[in-house]
């Protein structure tokens, strides 16, 4: 298969999407795949994704293939890999057995093309497992990946969602404003979260997310606590979402808030159900922020070194707070970003009040 194919042709009737993770990146890709689904409702769409993020495509009660449903609204086939486990045992018989099975599984649906929305050498290699032409960006995130593409497309747009849309639109013509996202809706999770909120005595709440991918993106826990106290004075309880690795930070916010904020852990499916009900989301550049934006929950985004023009909340009412002192960098540094530390709780509250006045609209 030549790696310099550039000509266009009929849109494929069976296409595989490759976007392995993480949460925010999968949500960024959902816009493009939702647009494909709207433009070509009869097209068979598969998705290769890391096992840990599969609930962004289908709730646990849904099958991984076959007729679509509210529990799996977007894709027809879900293929999972577990590269985290593979990296920890790269030479084990179990790892090689799973890789062999994954390669076989990706070939079975007879896809006509693969669209790599990750742009990494890892995703490009896995895309080739389907044994059909791979389409990707002219300038992928990891430049070496481009040699594995049969067709390369110049991505357009400042935001990563716009870039993904431009790649998808080169394959399936659609209006660039006809996107949005389709996320699973699970009745059991919806009822569980509704019941949990009734037990908390509120339906009027904000979601706080103090964690982030690395330390430079994390606004201090005690400042989230101060914001929670102010929100409580205005009638909003705050719930703190956290991953297992972020529990200590979440408990710090909870303790310092004096009861104004409550830490709670939940599955991705439950987080989707809970986020749908929130009046406001406050947090940094992290997956749950992008989930809130996708669900049209107003967002106060607290940014440090990453660029909100590329990674900010998209398609929703939002206010981004970022200091001019924050340099744009995607280095996973452990030191706090000095510019991020310049953002004060009252600035966050001012933004929150403005969005609460406007409502979801």
* CATH (domain of 334): 3.40.50.2000
DSSP secondary structure letter of residue 69: B
Does 67 reside within a domain? yes
- The answer to whether the beta carbons of residues 170 and 153 sit under 8 Å apart is yes
**For residue 133, is it within any domain?**
yes
Asked if 61 and 130 sit in the same domain, the reply is yes
Domain range enclosing 193 = 187-358
pLDDT in tens, the chain (361 residues): 333 334 566 899 999 999 999 999 999 999 999 999 999 999 999 999 999 999 999 999 999 999 999 999 999 999 999 999 999 999 999 999 999 999 999 999 999 999 999 999 999 999 999 999 999 999 999 999 999 999 999 999 999 999 999 999 999 988 766 567 899 999 999 999 999 999 999 999 999 999 988 888 999 999 999 999 999 999 999 999 999 889 999 999 999 999 999 999 999 999 999 999 999 999 999 999 999 999 999 999 999 999 999 999 999 999 999 999 998 988 788 888 899 999 999 999 999 999 999 987 6
Is this model's pTM higher than 0.85 or not? yes
Q: Answer yes or no: is 149 within a domain.
A: yes
Residues written for the chain: 361
In a domain, 3, yes or no: no
Given 113, 137, 169, which residue is the final one in a domain? 169
Q: Show the CA angle centred on residue 156, arms to residues 136 and 46, nearest 5°.
A: 40
Do residues 281 and 207 lie in contact, with contact meaning Cβ atoms separated by under 8 Å? yes
220 and 348 housed in the same domain:
yes
One domain, residues 191 and 151: no
Angle at 119 between CA 117 and CA 122, to 5 degrees: 110
Q: What is the pLDDT of residue 3?
A: 35
Same-domain check for residues 77 and 111: yes
Strand 261-264 relative to strand 205-209: parallel, antiparallel, unpaired? unpaired
Answer with the one of 169, 197, 226 that is the final residue of a domain: 169
Same-domain pairing of 160 and 200: no
Of 108, 141, 169, which residue sits at a domain end? Answer: 169
Instruction: Please check whether residue 259 lies inside any domain of the structure.
Output: yes
Q: Are residues 347 and 244 in the same domain?
A: yes
Instruction: Check if the beta carbon of residue 218 is closer than 8 Å to that of residue 339.
Output: no
**Same domain assignment for residues 202 and 308:** yes
My answer on whether 156 and 207 are in the same domain is no
Query: 194 and 102, same structural domain?
Result: no
In total, how many domains does the chain have? 2
Give per-residue pLDDT as tens, 151-173: 999 999 999 999 999 999 999 98
The model's pLDDT over 169-217, given as tens digits with 9 standing for 90+, comes to 999 988 766 567 899 999 999 999 999 999 999 999 999 999 988 888 9
pLDDT of residue 6: 41
What string of H, E and C letters represents the secondary structure of 236-277? CEEEEECCHHHHHHHHHHHHHCCCCEEEECCCHHHHHHHHHH
Do 66 and 213 fall within a single domain? no
146 with 198, same domain: the answer is no
Q: Count of CB atoms within 10 A of residue 87's CB? A: 9
- Buried/exposed code over 336-358 (b: 16+ C-beta within 10 A; e: otherwise): ebebbeebebebbbebbeebbee
C-alpha to C-alpha distance for 348 and 187, rounded to whole angstroms? 34
């Amino acid at each position: 298969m030549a790696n310099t194919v550039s000509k266009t042709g009929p849109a494929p009737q069976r296409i595989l999407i490759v976007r392995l993770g993480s949460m925010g990146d999968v949500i960024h890709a959902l816009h493009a795949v939702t647009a494909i689904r709207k433009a070509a409702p009869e097209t068979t769409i598969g998705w290769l994704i890391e096992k840990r993020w599969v609930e962004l495509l289908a709730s646990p009660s849904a099958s991984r293939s076959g007729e679509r449903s509210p529990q799996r609204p977007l894709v027809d086939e879900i293929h999972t890999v577990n590269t985290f486990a593979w990296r920890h045992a790269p030479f084990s018989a179990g790892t090689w057995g799973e890789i062999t099975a994954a390669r076989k599984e990706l070939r079975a649906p007879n896809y006509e093309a693969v669209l790599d929305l990750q742009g990494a050498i890892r995703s490009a290699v896995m895309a080739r497992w389907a044994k059909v032409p791979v389409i990707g960006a002219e300038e992928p995130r990891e430049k070496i990946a481009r040699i594995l593409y049969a067709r390369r497309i110049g991505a357009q747009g400042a935001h990563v969602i716009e870039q993904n849309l431009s790649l998808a639109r080169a394959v399936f013509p659609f209006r660039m404003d006809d996107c949005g996202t389709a996320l699973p809706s699970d009745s059991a999770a919806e009822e569980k979260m509704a019941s949990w909120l009734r037990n908390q005595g509120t339906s009027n709440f904000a979601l706080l997310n103090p964690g982030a991918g690395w330390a430079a993106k994390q606004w201090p826990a005690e400042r989230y606590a101060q914001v929670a106290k102010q929100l409580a004075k205005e009638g909003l309880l705050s719930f703190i979402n956290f991953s297992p690795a972020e529990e200590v930070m979440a408990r710090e916010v909870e303790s310092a808030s004096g009861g104004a904020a409550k830490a709670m852990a939940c599955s991705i499916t439950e987080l989707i159900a809970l986020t749908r009900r929130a009046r406001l989301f406050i947090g940094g550049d992290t997956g749950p922020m992008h989930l809130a934006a996708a669900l049209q929950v107003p967002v106060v985004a607290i940014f440090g070194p990453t660029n909100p023009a590329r990674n900010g909340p998209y398609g929703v009412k939002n206010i981004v707070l970022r200091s001019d002192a924050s340099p744009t960098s995607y280095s996973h540094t452990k030191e706090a970003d000095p510019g991020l530390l310049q953002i004060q709780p009252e600035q966050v509250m001012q933004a929150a009040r403005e969005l609460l006045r406007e409502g979801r609209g």
